[in-house]
Amino acid sequence: MQPSFEQQLINKKVKPTAMRLLVLEILNKELNAISLSDLVAKFEYAEKSTLFRTLKTFEEKRLIHRIDDGSGIVKYALCNNECDDIHEDEHIHFVCTQCKNTICLNEVKLPTIELPNNFTLKNLQITAKGICNKCNS
């Protein structure tokens, strides 16, 4: 059984304010990664800066991860249950060229990358582009 939204925040040492609980609820409902603009559109009275700070806090505490899907707009998605405190976003992000949604494909793992000596990998993201299952139906 998945912990409550409040417990999820407490587990990551994030104070469960009303706004944080609402944002976490929306992120849990979304099947696709969402941008700050998407989030702002869902809240009639929330300040954009408050929502941005909430996303940054969630990212720092590894509740969500940031996605650069090549669109020029940063998107965010919940970390899966296996995400530990050493955050490595080890899955492919799929961008549908028809509906423009970005989807985390948690079941598709990234390949191991062997770098030459004196190279240090800090981040690896692979974005696949094509037509998603909904648009293919």
Q: Which residues are annotated as a binding site for Zn(2+)?
A: 96, 99, 132, 135
Segment holding 79, helix H or strand E: none
Cα–Cα distance between 40 and 9 in angstroms, integer?
21
Cα–Cα distance between 10 and 86 in angstroms, integer?
18
Binding-site residues sit at 96, 99, 132, 135
Strands ordered across the beta sheet of 74-78: 34-35, 74-78, 64-68
| Burial category of 30 from C-beta neighbours within 10 Å (exposed 0-12, middle 13-18, buried 19 and up) | middle
